[in-house]
Structure 1
Amino acid sequence: MPRPRRREAQPATPAKRLNRHGRRGVRGPVTGPHLPLLQGRIDFFETAVASCADYLKGLWPDALGDVRFEIAAAPANALGLDEVERWAVDTARGRITLFRVPIERLAKLHRNDELHKRMLIESCVFRAVAEYLGKDPWDLAPERFRHF
Structure 2
Amino acid sequence: GSLAAAGARVPAVVEAGAYLGYSGFVPTLLRNPAKLAEGALHGSALLRHGTRLLARHAVVEAHGSGRVEAVTVARLDPDWRPLPGTGRRIPCDALAVGHGLVPQLELATALGCATRASADGTAALVLDAEQSTSV
Q: Which has more radius of gyration? A: 1
Q: Which has the higher helix share?
A: 1
TM-score by length of 2: 0.22
